[in-house]
Structure 1
Amino acid sequence: MQIDLNADAGESFGNWTLGRDEELFPLISSVNVACGFHAGDPLTIKRTLELARQTGVAVGAHPGFPDLVGFGRREMAATPEEVYADVLYQVGALWAFLKAAQMPLHHIKAHGALYNRATKDPGTARAIAEAARDFDPQIPLVVLPNTPLEAEAQKLGLRTVAEAFPERGYASDGRLAPRGTPGAWIHSPELAAHRAVQMVVEGRVEAVDGGWVEVRAQTLCIHGDNPNAVGIARAVREALEAEGIGIQTY
């Protein structure tokens, strides 16, 4: 058995630094690189790809809403046409740096509020999926299972990769608990590691509002902006490997 371990990264901007990418990359197998709309800038992208090459980490595009101030976590009144254009633009920007570095684009994964909206709104989901298809229909799209994003991507014939979040709380409906609500964030590396094993081995996880949620996961995400991201990634990796589960890209 094997599982991909991904993390959001490249989220610094100018002289402002976020995350500990140098420590995080050796612990994961794939990375979602900010493309400049919610975080990141051209030089940060370039340096993030250099680090990914050095550590052997696969690189994916992480497009979000054009919201640097809110880190892409605020809802925006973007139409499906705007979402399509924004996603295609951002993937293309990252691809230019990948092409210059002679590195492949491994996957596409929406960020923050854009990702969350696509788990509820079919129009947004289809716009993201259409942008991914029109860029390259062979590149996988990372999705939250059993949501419009997964359904719309599969309708277009895209390969989808089911994602789970060991350091984020789940509501009983299978969606992520809203940020700022009790249990939405898991800060304990030990608890996150326990949840990761549950997700991969048992296919389930405890919900913040009681009971169990079924989980289907091909990749597990560690948020790079979590203050304990490095400790969580290390604990998750060690716990999975102790169960005989290899860390490998899909």
Structure 2
Amino acid sequence: MTQQRQFIDLNCDLGEGVGNERELMPLISSCNLACGGHAGDLETINSVITLATKYNVEVGAHPSFPDRENFGRTAIKISFEELKNSILKQIDLVKESCHRFNIKLHHIKFHGALYNLSASNEDYAQFITRLIEEYYPEIPIYVPFNSAIGNLADGRVKLIYEGFADRNYEKDGSLVSRSKNDAVLTDLNRIFEHVFGMVNRNEIKTISDTILNVNIDTICVHGDTPKAVQILKDLNHNLLNSGIEIKALK
């Protein structure tokens, strides 16, 4: 019999130009800051970290392909050496800001196409694993459960397994493409059932009605999802009423 979790981390991608950080921050326990690749800059990072420290929210870096035009959601042709230099610059921008605020960088979560490629492509999974091993061995990364990077990096870097509250899943564990209908969930009842399945039953029901067995540590609501604030308010209310605390992994 599966033992129910007593707490779950709720995370959100912030600093991406939506401007709703003040509303979102009291509702989450960790955040992922855009750091110049797909969005964000030093001024935004400092502003969001100021809010995060006020609400005791853990801060992570959210690097991506250096591609603002496509918001980091398209795989661009770039060498691994160029990509490494860009990622290091992005992460260090957040890490140095955290140092100025006297807090530690809590985690790293890759964004968009880079996140998806690391989940499905062994070359990218190996590239990211080696980068973290060499430059940030003490910092955990958010990754999908039973993904290429999750399996390859296990035992080599610190992993925190992530699920998505506002996204549907394919039967192979990948997210339904945003180009397809019903990729993004917005109905509050469906979202809570989706999240409660991950937290309470260690299951994800896919878009084809198959069941994935998972072990989820953190759940993301995208900051640019319609009704993101309302979704997080509803999740906070229903999870707490179900005896599940909202808390980041330390």
TM bucket (normalised to shorter chain) is: over 0.9
2:205 equivalent to 1:200: no
Question: Counterparts in 2 of 1:1-250, with a 5 A limit?
Answer: 1-12=6-17, 18-154=18-154, 157-250=156-249
**Letter paired with 1:188:** D
Q: Give 1:19 deviation, angstroms.
A: 4.2
Distance 1:189 1:69 in 2: 31
Please give the TM-score of this superposition, normalised by the length of structure 1.
0.93
CA distance in 1, matches of 2:86, 2:126: 13
Secondary structure of 1:213's match? Answer: strand
> For the structure 1 residues 131 and 88, does the alpha-carbon distance in structure 2 shift closer, same or farther, using more than 3 Å as the test?
farther
Correspondence for 1:15: none
Matched residues in 1 for 2:225 and 2:19: separation?
Answer: 8
C-alpha contact 1:107 1:141 (8 A) present in aligned 2: yes
Question: Is the partner of 2:131 in helix, strand or coil?
Answer: helix
Runs of 4+ in 1 over 6 A off after TM superposition: none
CA distance 1:19–1:172, change in 2 (3 Å):
farther
Aligned partner of 2:226: which letter?
Answer: P
Counterpart AA for 1:38: H
1:12-65 deviations in whole A, cap 9, x for unaligned? 2xxxxx141101010000000001110001111111111111111100000001
CA distance 1:145–1:194, change in 2 (3 Å):
same
Letter in 2 for 1:236: L
How much does 1:8 deviate? 0.3
**For residues 70 and 242 of structure 1, what CA distance do their matches in structure 2 show?**
39
- Name the aligned partner's letter for residue 225 of structure 1: D
What per-residue deviation string (whole Å, max 9, x for no partner) do you get for residues 126-183 of structure 1?
Answer: 222222222221111110011111123225x211001001210000111111112122
Amino-acid identity (%): 36
* Deviates further, 89-98 or 110-119: 89-98
Number of equivalent positions: 244
TM-score normalised to structure 2 length: 0.93
Q: Quote how far apart the aligned CAs of 1:192 are.
A: 0.9
Q: Quick check: 1:64–1:111 contact (8 Å CA) kept in 2?
A: yes
Q: 1:163-208: per-residue Cα shift (whole Å, max 9, x none)?
A: 0012100001111111121221001122211211111001112211
CA distance, structure 1, for counterparts of residue 33 and residue 163 of structure 2: 18
Equivalent-residue separation in structure 2 for 1:25 and 1:55 (angstroms): 7
Contact 1:38 1:67 in 2 (8 A): yes
Give the CA RMSD over aligned residues: 1.3
Distance in 2 of aligned mates of 1:220 and 1:163: 6
